[in-house]
Amino acid sequence: MDLYNKKILLVIHQGNLGGAERQGLGISKILTTKYNCTVNVLLTYSPETTSEFEYFAKECQVQNILHFGGGYLLLKREFSYKNLQRLVWSVKYLLRLRKGIKPYQPDIIIPFLNFPSKVSYYLYKMLPSVQFTFWHQLGLDSNSLDIFESIAVNNIPCVIGNASNCLDMFKNIYIVNPEKLFVLPQYISLEYIEADKDLLRMKYSIPKESLVIGMIAHYREEKYHDLVLDVFNKLAIKYDTIHLVFLGNIENQIYAQEKYSQLSKNILENRTSNRISLLSGFKVQDILGLLDIGVLMSRIEGMPNAVMEYMLYGLPVVTTNHPGCIELLKGSSFLIENDEASLFDALEKLIISEELRVSEGTLNLNKIKSYDMDSYLVKMNLIINKALKI
C-alpha cells in the first residue's frame, strides 16, 4: 500500500492547537500537496475549535472538520445497570460515527492519542472503505483499561509510539505481539519564521536587554510550570536582567484556566509581573523568536513538540530527561531531573555564558534537521506495509 491518492481521516480529540493537534494537521499539508490525498478531520471531544486551530487546519488544506456528538466509548469490567448504560451510549456513538463518516469513504485512518486510537479501530471494523489504521500512542495520555480499549489494542493492525516509553503500556499491561510495536519519532511540524528579536520584545513589552527564558506548554497538570516559576524567582534575585515567558492556551479548558489563574496569583503575590509574561493563545513563532533559552519541565512526555521547536530556533534547551527528550538532545548535559536544584544549576550555567548558549543552540539546530515531515511519512508508509504482512 502507498499513500498516494488516498482519502485520509485524521482523528483528533479536540480543536486546540497542542502538540498532537499540530502534528495531525501538519501531516495533512504534505498528504494533500505531495501525495494528492483528500484529508478530513474528526474531532471526538467537542465541535469547539480555537481560531488558531481553524487557521492552521485551513493552511494545511483540511477539507472538513467533523464532529458527531460527544465521544463516548467505555465499558468497564463489571456487571451493573450503569455499565449497561455505558454499552448503550457507546454503541449509539459508534453508529453515529459510522453514519456520519461513511459518505467520506476514508481509505486510511490516522489517529492521534489514545481515545482517537480506540475510536479509529472500531471505524476500521465498521467502514468497508477503510484499509488501515493503527494505535497512536504519543506519551502524554491516559488509558481507560476498559473492554473496548482491550479489544482494540489486541486486534488493531499495529501500535506506533513516538518514543520508546510510549510502548510500555503495550508491553506491560496489554501483551501485544512485539512485531506489531513500532517507534516512529515525530517530525518538526512548525515552520521557522525569521523575525527581529528586538521588535518582538517590544511587541510583548519585554525589555530588549533582557535574557529571556521561556516555557511553551499548555497549562496542564503534567507540565511543571510551578517548578519553573519557583526557580526563576530565585534566579531573579541574583540576575536582574532575566525575564520569564510562559505560553499555553486556556481556551475551552477548565483546568488550564484554573492553573493560569493560580500562576497569575503567584506572580502578583511575588510582585514579579514586570519580569514574567504569562500568555495564552499567542503565535508560537513570535515567542520562539524572542527567547534565549527554552525550558520544558514535565511529568511525562513522548517526543515533545516544544523541545523540537526550541531546537528549530537554535535555542539551548533545558528539559526533563524523558526518553523522547533524550532521543532529541543526544548527549546534552541539560537533560535533568524534575527538581529545583538541577533546574537552577542548568539555567544559571546558560544565563552566565553567552558562549555556552550559542554552542548549545547550534548543536540543537543541527540535531533537529533530520526530523522532517517527508522522512516521517516515508517511515510511516514502511510501517504500514510491515504491519499489513503480520
Q: 3-class DSSP state for residue 385?
A: helix
Work out the burial of residue 104: count CB atoms within 10 Å of its CB; fewer than 13 is exposed, 13-18 middle, 19 or more buried: middle
Report the C-alpha gap between 200 and 340 in whole angstroms. Answer: 30
pLDDT range class, residue 241, cuts 50, 70, 90: very high
Q: DSSP readout, 306-328?
A: HHHHHHHTT--EEEE--HHHHHH
Q: Read off the C-alpha cell for 194.
A: 525569521
How many C-beta atoms lie closer than 10 Å to residue 196's C-beta?
11
Q: What nine digits make up the cell of 24?
A: 495531525
Residue 252: the pLDDT is 59
Q: Is the pLDDT of residue 141 over 70?
A: no
DSSP state of 191: P
Strand extents, DSSP E, 192-258: 211-216, 242-248
Phi-psi region of 370 (alpha: psi -120 to 50; beta: other; left: phi over 0): alpha
Q: pLDDT tens digits, residue range 181-229?
A: 999 988 887 889 999 999 999 999 999 899 999 999 989 889 999 999 9
Per residue in 69-92, pLDDT tens?
988 999 999 999 999 999 999 999
Task: Look at the block and give the residue holding cell 494533500.
Answer: 32
Full-model pTM: 0.81
The whole-number pLDDT of residue 160 equals: 95
The topology (CATH level 3) of 197-368 is Rossmann fold (3.40.50)
- Amino acid type, 259: K
Domain with CATH 3.40.50.2000 in the chain: 7-187+372-389, 197-368
Q: Taking each helix axis as running N to C, give the angle between helix 354-368 and helix 305-312, from 0 to 180 degrees, rounded to the nearest 10.
A: 110
What topology is assigned to 7-187+372-389 in CATH?
A: Rossmann fold (3.40.50)
Torsion of CA 104, 107, 113, 117, to 10 degrees: 90
**CB crowding 56-85: b at 16 or more within 10 Å, else e:** bbeebbbeebbbbeebebbbeeeeeeebee
- CA 361 from chain centre, in angstroms, equals 22
Q: pLDDT of 298-329, one tens digit each? A: 998 888 889 999 999 999 999 999 989 999 99
d(CA 224, CA 233): 15
